Amino acid sequence: MVQEKLSDEDKFRLVKDVGFEGVEVTTRAPKRSAEEMQALARASEKAGVPIHGVSNGSQGDLEAAINEAAIYGATTVLHVVRADPNGPFMENYRRSQELIRAAIPHAEKKKIKILIENVWATFLIEPLTMARYIDELASPWVKAYFDVGNVMRWGWPQHWIEVLGKRIEKIHIKEYSLKVAMKEGMAKGFALPIGQGDIDWKRVREELKAIGFQSWATAEVRGGDRRRLADISAQMDRVLYT
């Protein structure tokens, strides 16, 4: 998201200057070398901006992502579970659980939680199913990464927070407008600034308070230069603390 030509350390300093307390990084293809990961970890430490999590998307190598997160001193790895339209639903359900279950011992060893995110993957698209999916894995090292904006396609974030409750470990922040989506296309619904769409942020705050949520909230929106990042930081402050 930091779209300025700066060193890694200066990028960390920039996000700190505009009000962010930490960052999340994505795994890459090809993977970062051990030296690149260690250099990124040093830059984070020097700037005083922790890398709190690693986003692994739907890549299968969870152990590698867990190892990367451990190098940074992060606490979580984000994992996306996708539907397979060419196979049976329950086969996909169980197979995806087995992939996560196989990584749990390594996650526990490294003290890194695996967080399942709700995305537009036509799978786990309502809260009771996601809660069941997580509960069946029966591990304190598997929780939810709740995306406030993504659920607007099929429901309301305040309802998801109520159902998922303490399963929610971290949250992604973005806006969504159903009105814009209906007129201009589903993806266009994300285009509005945070706080100017159809999400009821007051209800979101109330439900987060009700479950005692005290963890990372990370913006997952279009990035930009210093001014753009400062705007995002201010928007987050308004919807989370107003």
Give pLDDT tens digits for 218-227: 999 999 999 9
Give pLDDT tens digits for 36-89: 999 999 999 999 999 999 999 877 789 999 999 999 999 999 999 988 899 999
What's the CATH superfamily of 8-172? Divalent-metal-dependent TIM barrel enzymes (3.20.20.150)
CA atoms within 13 A on the CB side of 114: 32
Taking the C-alpha atoms of residue 83 and residue 92, their distance in angstroms, rounded to an integer, is: 7
The reported pTM is 0.95
Place of tokens 């987050």: 236
pLDDT confidence bin for 166, thresholds 50/70/90: very high
Place of tokens 């867990």: 66
Taking the C-alpha atoms of residue 1 and residue 12, their distance in angstroms, rounded to an integer, is: 11
Q: What is the pLDDT of residue 29?
A: 65
